[in-house]
């Protein structure tokens, strides 16, 4: 079994040691608590770390007010500490700062052990909090770039989409492939998209000073296309008789599959499909019921295909206008 030491582990270890050394050098009481606060504050993403520290700061201030009142009235004993928790925990739920319960409780025990809530001890605990949380924030500014991993997901999503669309082209053109194969491909695409979205969100949470949500928008666009692909496959499976326009739509699908990638704006593909739609609408209607129903299902298929391409065209237009 191979032991893996990740970036978060390294940052936590180095940050904890640094926080303890800083607190010790300042001659703070209970200096080791600064390291514990660092351990509790290091997160997977930069923004998550800043949010957590903000919540814990609020929780600590609320906790100190309650604890000081409890100790001054009831004395520095376990009973007063219990009363403090009875009041403090529900209040953290009200302010949604439950993440600060453990850390604040640890700091409050220092008041109880010192049997004092003087300014010296308040300042001591606030400095422990500032050092521990501050070191964690600095550590979380150093995040490895996730762009290479996310770009890998982009390529995988596009490859899977090309395979699905090419499968549709062959199914529509030759009716030799089983649709079950493509439903399995669609399931694979959904899992890839879910993983890609999670990594894109994590990447965005590491962009502290910028709001570059390109990857989130990109995978949202692909997720919307995935839903259209599901509808297209469902319509395709319901076509029971040959339809005159099937061949030209099959060719359009094959062309789309061959050029589908991040950089293709899809404008020419949209124009091509719109022409197919106009020709489709102008063609004579079939006379028998079965052929009419198949034509209608192919029409819906073509409508979804057009929307799928328009999503990519609109996405590229928005991105271009922002640059």
289-305: pLDDT as tens digits: 877 788 889 989 999 99
Q: Residue 177 pLDDT more than 60?
A: no
Q: What gap in Å lies between CA 96 and CA 114, rounded to an integer?
A: 30
* pLDDT tens-digit map of 83-99: 999 999 999 999 888 88
Q: Is the model's pTM score more than 0.75? A: no
Domain range summary for the chain, segments of one domain joined by +: 7-142, 146-322
Structure tokens at 17: 């040691």
Residue 77 token pair: 């004993």
146-322 falls under which CATH superfamily? Answer: Putative aromatic acid exporter, C-terminal domain (1.20.120.940)
Q: Is 149 helix (H, G, I), strand (E, B) or coil?
A: helix
Tens digit of each residue's pLDDT (9 = 90 or more) over 267-279: 888 999 999 888 8
Q: Which residues contact 98 (CB under 8 A, 6 or more apart)?
A: 59, 89, 92
Confidence of residue 107 (pLDDT cuts 50, 70, 90): very high
Structure confidence by residue, pLDDT tens digits, 209-238: 455 578 888 999 999 999 999 999 999 988
pLDDT at 203: 67
Is residue 60's pLDDT more than 80? yes
pLDDT value at residue 209:
45
The C-alpha torsion from 126 through 132 and 137 to 139, rounded to 10°, is 160
Q: Can you tell me which residue has the tokens 């995978």?
A: 219
Q: What percent of the chain lies above the pLDDT cut of 90?
A: 49
Average pLDDT, the chain: 86
Cα 101 to Cα 84: distance, rounded to the nearest angstrom: 11
Over 70: is that where the pLDDT of 3 sits?
Answer: no
């Amino acid at each position: 079994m191979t032991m893996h030491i990740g970036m978060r582990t390294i940052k936590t270890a180095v940050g904890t040691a640094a926080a303890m050394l800083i607190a010790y050098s300042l001659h703070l009481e209970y200096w080791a608590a600064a390291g514990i606060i660092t351990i509790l504050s290091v997160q997977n993403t930069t923004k998550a770390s800043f949010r957590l520290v903000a919540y814990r700061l609020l929780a600590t201030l609320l906790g100190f007010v309650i604890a000081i009142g409890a100790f001054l009235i009831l004395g520095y004993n376990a009973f007063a500490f219990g009363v403090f928790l009875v009041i403090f925990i529900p209040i953290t739920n009200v302010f949604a700062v439950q993440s600060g319960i453990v850390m604040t409780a640890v700091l409050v025990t220092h008041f109880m052990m010192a049997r004092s809530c003087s300014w010296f001890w308040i300042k001591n605990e606030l400095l422990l909090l500032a050092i521990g949380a501050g070191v964690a924030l600095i550590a979380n500014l150093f995040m490895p770039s996730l762009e290479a991993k996310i770009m890998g997901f982009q390529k995988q999503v596009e490859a899977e989409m090309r395979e699905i669309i090419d499968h549709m082209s062959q199914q529509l053109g030759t009716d030799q492939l089983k649709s079950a194969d493509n439903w399995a491909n669609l399931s694979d695409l959904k899992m890839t998209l879910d993983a890609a979205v999670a990594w894109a969100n994590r990447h965005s949470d590491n962009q502290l000073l910028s709001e570059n949500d390109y990857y989130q928008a990109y995978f949202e666009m692909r997720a919307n296309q995935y839903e259209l692909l599901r509808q297209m496959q469902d319509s395709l499976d319901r076509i029971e008789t040959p339809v005159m326009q099937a061949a030209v739509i099959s060719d359009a699908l094959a062309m789309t599959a061959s050029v589908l990638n991040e950089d293709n704006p899809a404008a020419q593909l949209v124009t091509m499909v719109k022409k197919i739609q106009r020709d489709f609408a102008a063609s004579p209607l079939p006379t028998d019921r079965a052929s009419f129903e198949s034509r209608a299902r192919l029409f819906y298929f073509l409508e979804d295909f057009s929307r799928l391409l328009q999503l990519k065209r609109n996405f590229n237009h928005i991105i271009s206008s922002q640059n």
